[in-house]
Chain A
Amino acid sequence: MTTETGIGASVKRKEDARFITGKGRYTDDINLVNQTYLVFARSPYAHAKINGIDLEPAKATPGVVAVFTGKDLAADEIGDLPCGWMVKSKDGSDMISPSHPPIAIDKVNYVGEPYALVIADTPDAARNGAEAIEANFEVLEAVLSTADATSGPQIHENAPNNRSYDWELGDKDATDTAFDNAAHITKLDIVNNRLIPNAIETRAALGDFDSSTGNYTLYTTSQNPHVERLILAAFVNVAPEARLRVISPDVGGGFGSKIFVYAEETAVIWAAGKLGRPVKWRAERTESFLGDAHGRDHVTHAELAIDDDGKFTGLRVSTKANMGAYLSTFASSVPTYLYGTLLAGQYTTPNIYVEVQAVFTNTCSVDAYRGAGRPEATFVVERLVETAARELNMDPAELRRKNFIPPDAFPYETPVALTYDTGNYGISLDKALDLADVAGFESRRSDSESRGKKRGLGYSCYIEACGLAPSQVAISLGAGVGLFESAEIRVDVTGSVTAITGSHSHGQGHETTFAQLISDRFGIPFESVDVVHGDTGRSDYGLGTYGSRSIAVGGSALMSAADKIIAKGKKIAAHMLNSNEDNVDFADGRFTAADTNESLAFGEVAFSAYVPGNFPLEELEPGLSEKAFYDPANFTYPAGAHICEVEIDPDTGVTEIAQFVAVDDFGNVINPMIVEGQVHGGLAQGIGQALLEHGIYDADSGNLITGSYLDYAMPRADHLPDFTVDTTVTPCTHNPLGVKGCGEAGAIGSTAAVMNAVTDALGVIDMPMPATPETVWKVARGA
């Protein structure tokens, strides 16, 4: 059913009403009576021993309530921050996960690592106190380079060669044989630059302890409050799970960085219990730069084997992935199960072998950032394919088409452990070629040249795997949590509906999309549906929102719960209509008895459920409220074709995006307006990586040079073009909605398209990323 508010309609968002009027309620907008303020003392050194900390001057600072170090947390048996995914090395050994006390005790391992905390009556007093702390550091030599990490000074006692694991996937021998027999081999050395997530709302936490009940409440900027609660309770040991409520109110963007459990919220909730007063912390932007888990940072050598016909016969990839100083919450899974498994791309490449060394450096942790592993995989594959086309003097679109998995080959099992359920890559590429007017490119290129500019065209045909699943497989591969989603639908007496989801919206618009699903399914007004999320006190459980999983997993869970509501409604309707539940149909918001053709509206059945005047109670319970847990059978596989056209001024090195076309297959689309918006945002981040963004540490001091917006180049409105976006549809075969997910696609596909366009314009095989003006200028003049 497509109505003005149903599935497929670009319904305006419910949540906007509060956001555009300034009534959004973000963590830092919440204040509690008698609250205190927490400020961390952070390491100025990349690598140093802590020989002593003098807290007395801080304690004597006016307004300071308490000062703590890591030892105080340890004395209360607060545990390490864990990494939740066990990866095994080639030799079968477990990855090495160094001890990660929330507040450093003996040693600091990156600039910005907290080593003490000061709590005071005002933010200023807390800052004064933190400044007054005098720590005696013994500075050690630091390891900063991903490429050279394994030969640097050892950071953790239990991690020789600064290596966490040395992982592999695929058939090495078969792949080597393919290379032995190749007609052509394309090789690239690729550095995937480190990115800093930069949600505009910085992370924040407000902890509260009620001594009368022993209950803790943590308000925090989390993408997955239940996982936060589970980890804080079960692993970090701040409070029993049942005594800890985590509320993630409006959250101002996440992009992965708010999935993880960090030192700061751990310290906040622990200190709230310790002091018996609410404790608040809000990151200053600099703290976000220093401490929010960064993204990407791979160094890779990759080779593609091609036969005489231009068919890919083998892919060999060797990657060093920078983990930073510690393994963050899901860090280990990113360069392995979210990277190696995606290296088949959209192609039939029969032999693939990938090995990944995860290395430690004296830098902020690296974990999932929009796309998480999949952008890195796409970048490797699509840079190789484009380069191969140039080396073979073939049309890059044709070379891709020749190697696409054909539409009749699905389900398609790749040599890197995934089974793609469905797809039609050719139609997306065709549509993109058309929208980008690729046929007219050469004349546009001539026009640019006549103005002294260089013009280039780049493609990227990406695949992604969304809705990480099923739990059984993921857990067998080392995941520490399930990957299902929960849903609950409560039908009110008057027929309005509260839908409670374990997914979490931090910009995705679930209050709208999920309401569309429910309104469409129940045939009730969109306005009658309220979506609740982000509070462990209100939903049973939930895995939250990351990896473009909300609609495919959370939406499907809601559909399961909706099915149960309808089943129960049929029982009630059958009773009221003197029919049999098997004879009752539900459509367009009415329960109809097929035998009598008498019917009841959804609201009438709801009312009866709560006013069960003559229910046969032994067969029919009152009430209309159902729960479901949905565990998907497989990932979903969105895919698409991105085409970027750039114009470069060789004199200044400035690259302008002349046009960007993205055609994506997300399966069925619930709200096209929201989906387009997700694509736009992803494209901006992918283009940002290609042209602007780069997290850089000083090679000598280990300071983060890009520690503020004065140095980290965020994409602004005038860096970006208008985007041309469109979709094709092959519905997902294994979820009830036929949906695939759209949150990361833009960031996954676009970076390679931009770099392919820039290298095309400059007539070079390769160049460093980001393609900043100076880099482009140097390449353009052949330096």
Chain B
Amino acid sequence: MAVKLNVNSVEHTLEVPSNTLLSEILRDHLNLTGTHIGCDTSQCGACVVHMDGKSIKSCTVLAAQADGADVTTIEGIANGGELHPMQEAFRNNHALQCGFCTPGMIMSAIDLVQSNDKLSAQEIREGLDGNFCRCTGYHNIVKAVLEAQEQM
């Protein structure tokens, strides 16, 4: 089937099998490998991207469902050479170790901050419960999001 989507401000029209997932389009067809796959059950959040402005798990969206959508991935949030404030805050606060959950975590965190008024640390913890991190114990991730929301 043909799907047309805009990824990081670039239009793509692709011919893919019906059972293709959005995550597969990004990784396998567009070589945007910053979107990661960490589970099969839509729990871990490593694959989170924005679709039409909202964070979604790209491993649980069919290519067909993304037809016509605007998709933003981790590769598309920096403004040229200038990092997104959330990326900057993650680096500043040592909010990542192995880096595998990081793209999904950052994409979730951006949506969380954009969709809410000023968040408390506890609200950030609750708001990130769709993303697993096995390295950081989340402590520095919470710090990073608190810092980023001041900049966003």
Contact = CB atoms under 8 A, between A and B. Distances in A.
A and B touch in the complex (CB under 8 A): yes
A29 B28 CA distance: 9
Interface in A495-539: 506-509
A75 interface: no
A12 B91 contact: yes
Interface residues of B, number: 54
Interface stretch (A19-27, A325-333, A482-490, A631-639): A19-27
B96 interface: yes
A717 B138 contact: yes
Contacts of A25: 33
Contact of A714 (B121, B132, B135): B132
Interface stretch (A467-475, A584-592, A672-680, A728-736): A672-680
A723 B97 contact: no
Interface stretch (B50-58, B60-68, B101-109): B101-109
Residue of A12, A15, A202, A282 with most partner-chain B CB within 10 A: A202
Contact of B94 (A251, A282, A677): A677
Interface string A336-357: 0000000000000000000000
Nearest to A25: B33
A13 interface: yes
Nearest to A708: B41
A253 B135 contact: yes
B46 A200 contact: yes
B99 A15 contact: yes
A20 B94 CA distance: 11
Interface in A640-691: 673-674, 676-678, 680-685
A716 B129 contact: yes
A250 interface: yes
Given A507-B98, A718-B129, A22 B40 contact: no
A200 B94 contact: no
B152 to A, nearest CB: 15
A611 B81 CA distance: 37
A508 B136 CA distance: 11
B137 to A, nearest CB: 3
Given A29-B33, A199-B134, A681-B137, A16 B96 contact: yes
Given A201-B36, A673-B94, A21 B99 contact: no
B134 A681 contact: yes
Contact of B122 (A18, A253, A718, A723): A718
A28 B37 contact: yes
Given A21-B75, A681-B136, A722-B121, A251 B98 contact: yes
Contacts of B128: 716-718
Contacts of B113: none
B134 A198 contact: yes
A508 to B, nearest CB: 7
B54 to A, nearest CB: 19
Contacts of A77: none
A235 interface: no
Contacts of A507: 97-99, 135
Contact of B140 (A202, A677, A715, A746): A677
Interface string B78-97: 10000100010011101011
A22 B103 contact: yes
B142 interface: yes
B77 to A, nearest CB: 8
B43 interface: yes
Interface in A195-228: 198-202
Contact of A200 (B41, B44, B74, B92): B44
A285 interface: yes
Contact of B98 (A201, A680, A714, A718): A201
Given A13-B94, A709-B39, A22 B125 contact: no
Interchain residue pairs A-B with the least CB separation, the first 10 = A22-B34, A252-B100, A19-B99, A507-B98, A684-B137, A22-B74, A507-B97, A680-B137, A709-B43, A29-B33
29 contacts: A13-B91, A15-B99, A20-B74, A20-B99, A21-B75, A22-B73, A26-B33, A29-B33, A198-B132, A198-B134, A250-B98, A285-B40, A285-B41, A285-B44, A507-B99, A680-B137, A681-B97, A682-B137, A684-B138, A685-B134, A708-B39, A708-B43, A709-B44, A716-B125, A716-B132, A717-B124, A717-B125, A717-B133, A722-B142
